[in-house]
Structure 1
Amino acid sequence: MNYVLYAIPFFFLLIALELLADRWRGVSTYRLADSINSLSAGVLSQASGLLTKGFGLIVYLLIWERIALFQFSLESPWVWVLAFVLYDFCYYWSHRFGHERNVFWASHVVHHQSEDYNLTTALRQTSTGFLLSWIFYLPLALIGIPPVVLITVGSLNLLYQFWVHTRHIPKLGWFEWFFITPSNHRVHHGQNPRYMDRNYGGVFIIWDRLLGTFQEELDEEPVIYGVTTPLASWNPLWANLHFYAQLWRDAVHAGSWWDKLRIWFMPTGWRPADVAARYPLEKHELRDFVKFDVPLGRGQKLYAALQFAGYVLGITWLLMVSASHGFADLLIGWCWAAFGLYVIGVWLENRPLARWLELARLLLNVPALWLLQSVGIVAAGETAWLLLLAYSLLSGMFVWLPRRSEPAPA
């Protein structure tokens, strides 16, 4: 069973509690634009998962049905315990390759782009992991772990990882020796050279301790979050694609055909010598690090937050009804979400075309609602159209209200 859908309300409840903890302690671990960007990546990931959920599962099923070494009973508790532990070991290697090879990092980088560290960071997930990540779990099919067990323990593994994305919980004594905790996972999100590419486990830290990838959080070296080549954008689509685009550009510019091929599978950050010389990448020094930010008025921020809330509700509904709809129907919902989240990102960046794109988004909600009603994702009737009319009028009025202009990003 996939428990992630049922956990969504609890995610937002815990985020609210963390915000209260911020206020109580007099600290600030949240920035609105960064949090919306992280949550947008998560919403897009869930929507994308509806289209790609069978991509790797088909291969898993074939191996499990035809060449599994053992047959395990779902009634046996130890089968579930064994699967939970082995899944985390496979996750360790998936996660490690996600940091150590270019093509895997291209998918995983989105989770590390936030320059803040809070519970919204946990929900900042990739939309392209379906391409290769399933490979690492095929040994479980060969052993004989049933697919329903795989899906269930995978969901539990993911849910466990949510609570460790906080700065409010200190080291936890003996617990640090065996399990992933907020402290040792903060290390994992650091761009400090000492902290990079460490602590890969999802639930258990013992794999890192045994395989030499463990690093303790040090009081004398505070974690600086983010990646060494910043995204510098609030666009969730670009967040998922930008490293693929960089690899593609480097492959095109490479003079050697061998370099064009191997760049995808080389250690993360490797570039052909001729490309690196002609097209150097600008990387910041930690001492000069400044978080990406764009000045926005309070009204603009509130507007973005309210619009984003609509997409959270919409995708949650899509997840709830997805079992009774085919690929084409779900693709309509994905397109609606992807374009809307892109426009919100442009709005948060205060781009010159932000108002016009927002107007286009509001207008496109009309054919989107008609399509969603025609395939049965949204109930037919006048109520939805009246709600859309009221929403569009209120949104449009705000968009075109005169306000003090803010400088656009360079």
Structure 2
Amino acid sequence: MDLILYAVPFFLVLIALELIADRWRGVSNYRLADAVNSISTGVLSTTTGLLTKGVGLLTYAFALEHLALFKLPADSVWVWVLAFVLYDFCYYWLHRMGHERNILWAAHSVHHQSEEYNLSTALRQTSTGFLLGWIFYLPMAVLGVPLLVFVSVAALNLLYQFWVHTRHIPKLGWFEWFFVTPSNHRAHHAQNALYMDRNYGGVFIFWDRLFGSFQEEEDNEPVIFGVTTPLASWNPLWANLQFYAQLWDDARRAERKWDKLRIWFMRTGWRPADVAAKYPMSKPDLARFRKFEVPLERRQQFYVALQFCLYIALGSYLMNLERSLPTAALLLGWGAVTFGVFALGVSLENRPWALKVELLRLGLNVPLVWLAPLVGLWPASPMIWAGLLGYSLLSGIGLYNCRQRVTRLAV
């Protein structure tokens, strides 16, 4: 049973409830563009994971078969408890190295780019973590933790982490000493110097207390969320590529071959001396910190939000039918989701070429519907073509109204 799949509707309901709590308390912890961007990276991560999760599972299964020192029973309660704790220990070190090494931060930084902190931030996940993340869980295979147990405790660990991404829950007394909570995880998401690179646990905070990486949320030091090199974009593809691109540029510009290689594995923020001197990077002054924002007319925001629901539905469809869909179908679905959330990100940024990209997105739905039955994504049906026609007409009307409104405001 895929626990994450069944949890998705509850995630969305809880986000809606948090929005209601915001309104009731008279606070504003959500911005539509930021929330869409966060959930977009989550949808992209999930659909990418359908194609790449075999990397981690196959390497784990191989290590379990050939390197395991023990054969632990999958029907033993103590094995499950041990695996749950051991997984969080491995996650702690993956998470910590994800902050301390350039190549790993390139993947993990996606989760920290939001300058808001709410439940949608929890869904903001990387699409490239599969490249190296599996390495940190191999000790569990060596100790003989069965694959079913490993996959299950991994899902439980991830599910736990959802609820701590909120500003509505204060400190929780004694619970703060043992478990990750909204308070100590808010500190983890800060870009303040006091809080930076602290509180790495997924479920248990005592790892941080044990290894010297704990920092309490202080009342006299309000948390400023985000990263010190702001994303300044609503594009989920750029969110995943931004830091890789920075590392590539620095490696390409470095004069020494050794620097070209080691920059990827040095501590986060390290740059070759010659590159840093020639291409300095300034960090924003937190005393004058301003959140990234692009003015967008309300109708445009509403249009993007409605269109985005389509990709949430398509991502959920792919997750639900993953095991019965051929690889070609998953690739087609992933491509549709990827370009779709990219196009909506361009619209949220109000780029000069946003209309062309949006028209291309709508136009590509025709070959998508034609190809889908051929690769087994869904069966051929006249109703699907009728649905596409209706969707296209409504989208065209909505897009026309948005453009008319923007034109009138400009005049």
Aligned to 1:374: 374
Counterparts in 2 of 1:2-401, with a 5 A limit? 2-401=2-401
Describe the SS at the equivalent of 1:193.
Answer: coil
Offset, 1:67? 2.2
The alignment partner of 2:364 has SS state of helix
Instruction: Please tell me the residue identity of whatever aligns with 2:45.
Output: S
1:135 is paired with a residue whose SS is helix
8 Å CA contact retained: 2:180, 2:205: yes
Partners of 1:82 and 1:406 in 2: CA distance = 64
Separation in structure 2 between the aligned mates of residue 258 and residue 405 of structure 1, nearest angstrom: 54
* In 2, Cα distance between equivalents of 1:104 and 1:407: 45
Q: Distance between the aligned counterparts of 1:406 and 1:323, measured in 2?
A: 50
TM superposition outliers: structure 1 runs of 4+ over 3 Å = 405-408
Letter in 2 for 1:253: R
Separation in structure 2 between the aligned mates of residue 394 and residue 329 of structure 1, nearest angstrom? 27
Cα distance in 2, alignment partners of residues 194 and 256 from structure 1: 34
Q: For 2:379 and 2:159, locate their aligned partners in 1 and report how far apart those are by CA, in whole Å.
A: 31
Letter in 2 for 1:46: T
Equivalent residue of 2:54, what SS? coil
Secondary structure of the 2:134 match is helix
Q: Does the aligned pair in 2 maintain the 1:295–1:406 contact within 8 Å?
A: no
Secondary structure at the counterpart of residue 174 of structure 2: helix
The alpha carbon displacement at 1:376 in A equals 2.2
Q: Quote the offset at 1:312 in angstroms.
A: 0.2
Shift of 1:326: 2.8
Q: TM-score, normalised by structure 2?
A: 0.98
Residues 147-176 of structure 1 show CA distances to partners (whole Å, capped at 9, x for unaligned) of 111110000000000000000000000000
- Which position in structure 1 is the counterpart of 2:405? 403
- Residue 194 of structure 1: CA displacement? 0.3
Counterpart residue identity of residue 92, structure 1:
Y
1:182 Cα deviation after fit = 0.1
Q: Number of aligned pairs?
A: 408
Deviation for aligned residue 1:379: 2.5
How far does residue 249 in structure 1 lie from its aligned partner after superposition? 0.5
Q: Is the 8 A contact 2:326 2:376 kept in 1?
A: no
Conserved? CA contact 1:350–1:406, under 8 Å: no
Measured in 1, the distance between the counterparts of 2:115 and 2:270 equals 23
- One-letter amino acid of the counterpart of residue 404, structure 1: V
- How far did residue 60 of structure 1 move? 1.1
Gaps of 5+ in 1: none
Identity rate of aligned residues, in percent?
65
How far the C-alpha of 1:62 sits from its partner, in A, is 1.2
Q: CA deviation at 1:56?
A: 2.0
Q: Secondary structure at the match of 1:229?
A: coil
Are the aligned partners of 1:296 and 1:406 in contact in 2 as well (CA < 8 Å)?
A: no
Conserved in 2, the CA contact under 8 Å of 1:99 and 1:268? Answer: yes
TM-score (normalizing by structure 1): 0.98
| Conserved? CA contact 1:308–1:341, under 8 Å | yes
SS of aligned partner of 2:197: coil
Query: Contact between 2:326 and 2:375, CA under 8 Å: does it hold in 1?
Result: no
SS at match of 1:98: helix
Quote the offset at 1:329 in angstroms. Answer: 1.9
Residue 281 of structure 2 aligns to a residue whose secondary structure is coil
Q: Is the 8 A contact 1:2 1:151 kept in 2?
A: no
